[in-house]
Amino acid sequence: MNNAFDLAGKTAIVTGSCKGLGRGMAVGLAGAGADVVLVDRDEATDTAKVIESMGRKALTISADLMSIEPIPSIMENTLATFGKVDILINNAGTIRRTPAIDFSEKDWDDIMAVNAKTVFFFSQAVARDMVKRKSGKIINIASLLSFQGGILVPSYAASKGAVAQVTKALANEWASLGININAIAPGYMATDNTKALREDAVRSKAILDRIPAGRWGTPGDLADVAVFLASSASDYINGHILVVDGGWMAR
């Protein structure tokens, strides 16, 4: 059974891998045997050092995914170094908190660009390589706000709803080509994106009171889930949004 989770010989691209959830998932994939391409606006050198200390290879690429322009170059560098892409984790994302009545067009466009548009076009780019082997795993990072509306984050909620629907749409087209595309919807995680919430005593208590597990999630909580969806153990899972939330959605 353990062999089903073995990623030895696989090459993964993880976006937003400098810190937080992306770093946790990148290190998790390396722990299962994968070599990892680390894509972030800031070069993910610390993550690379951890991966290399585990005996795996790491390639760091600095790119601003607010635009899809860097994607061809990322693919070119990855294929030149590793020859193929087996796994993509579309983790890069951003959030801006403003009342909907005051939300600007720029903030709307920026969030939708990196959280939704880049997810589609990066998936398209790796799929063109994956179809050559009729094998590949694409994992998008959705959110509880793929299901809920949230407060003060209208564009983020819209973008994560888009992630869930794009995941399903691409699964409908690509499952027959040997590509599994699924999404992870993290619950309330202790990352930079939730710093303001965690520091707000009232909001933090309200959130924790609804989580049966009684705590904020950590990057480590997503690592093994990412390995599962990246491995052959998930070969018959397509278009699924896997919630990892300590039970928040169950309340």
d(CA 14, CA 106): 26
Beta bridge partners of 39: 15, 61
d(CA 103, CA 199): 23
Backbone torsions φ then ψ of 12, nearest 5 degrees: -120, 145
Asked whether the beta carbons of 73 and 37 are under 8 A apart, the reply is no
**By C-alpha distance, which of 129, 144, 126 is closest to 183?**
144
Catalytic site residues?
A: 156
Paired sense of beta strands 11-15 and 241-244, if any: unpaired
d(CA 50, CA 86): 21
Token output for 221: 């909580």
26 CB neighbour count, 10 Å cutoff: 35
Asked whether the beta carbons of 85 and 78 are under 8 A apart, the reply is yes
Beta bridge partners of 90: 140
d(CA 93, CA 160): 10
Backbone torsions φ then ψ of 45, nearest 5 degrees: -70, -35
